[in-house]
Amino acid sequence: MKKLLLLVTLVTVFCLSTIAQISFGPKVGLNLAKCSFNFKESSEEPDVKMRMAPLVGIAINFQFTDALALQSGLFFTGKGTAFDLEKMAPEDVDIDGYMRFSTSYLEIPVNVAYGIAIGESQIQIFVGPYLAYGIMGKQKWDFTVKYDGDSDTEKDDIKIKFKNKIDESDDEEDTMYLTALNFGLGFGLGFKTGPILINAGYELGLTNLTPKWGGEGDDDRDDYKITNGVINVSVSYFFGGK
């Protein structure tokens, strides 16, 4: 299966290279990531806010016509979420500090981009799917709870492991499990001038980050749906092409 997938990929790239002008180059950017929680018991859903994370990698552009292009690449991208402790705190309780989980993925997007000429530059509209694989992550918290004149400090971190299915053997202490494969849809706007492309977009995660349960008992992952959401801004510089 892996050999077949590699063969299909190579054939696809070869075919594209024969009918399109190819350019490639570095891409750097900033992600504003926030997860969505959709639990069966809505009272268990945490309040969340955005966290900043990096986006870096190699972008590739297949230019078919002056207006139409296929854009892809391989990127290291940070996702995750921060928890809004102030909203989560009961009345008459103050919380100072943070709680968040940060995740990092290797990601391949495949976007169709349509450009509208403005002089020698272009405004681009792009849309397409992405596939990402989780490679590392950590959940950390460091906050102080103040109530009735007393205070209590909580500080710790746990590691995040990526597995699509877990069972009874996955019971490591201080470990959180998330689905390894992440699929979604990206869309946004870009401005291209010369070899420089500036993009602003949004990635809507469609994969439930709660892993499947492969052990005894029922799989209740559908009761605990978590998905990624990322606003990103990036700059690419392309070599090659026209």
Q: What is the pLDDT of residues 182-203, one digit of tens each?
A: 999 999 999 999 999 999 999 9
The angle at the Cα of 62, spanning 77 to 17, to the nearest 5 degrees, equals 120
Give the integer Cα–Cα distance in Å for 88 and 174.
22
pLDDT tens-place string over residues 123-182: 999 999 999 999 999 999 999 998 877 888 989 999 999 999 998 888 888 899 999 999
pLDDT tens-place string over residues 96-118: 899 999 999 999 999 999 999 99
Give the integer Cα–Cα distance in Å for 170 and 173.
9
* Structural class in CATH, domain 2-240: mainly beta
Measured between alpha carbons, how far apart are the two ends of the chain, in Å?
37
Domain layout of the chain by residue ranges: 2-240
Q: Say which amino acid occupies 100.
A: R
Task: Judge contact between 57 and 104, C-beta under 8 A.
Answer: no
Total residues belonging to the chain: 242
Give the integer Cα–Cα distance in Å for 114 and 8.
26
What's the pLDDT band for 93 if we cut at 50, 70, 90? Answer: confident
State residue 32's pLDDT score. 98
State residue 16's pLDDT score. 53
Average pLDDT over residues 52-60: 97
> What residues are paired with 71 via a beta bridge?
61, 111
Tell me: pLDDT of 4 over 50: no
What's the pLDDT band for 18 if we cut at 50, 70, 90? Answer: low
Handedness of CA 169, 171, 173, 177 (dihedral sign): positive
pLDDT tens-place string over residues 65-91: 999 999 999 999 999 999 999 888 888
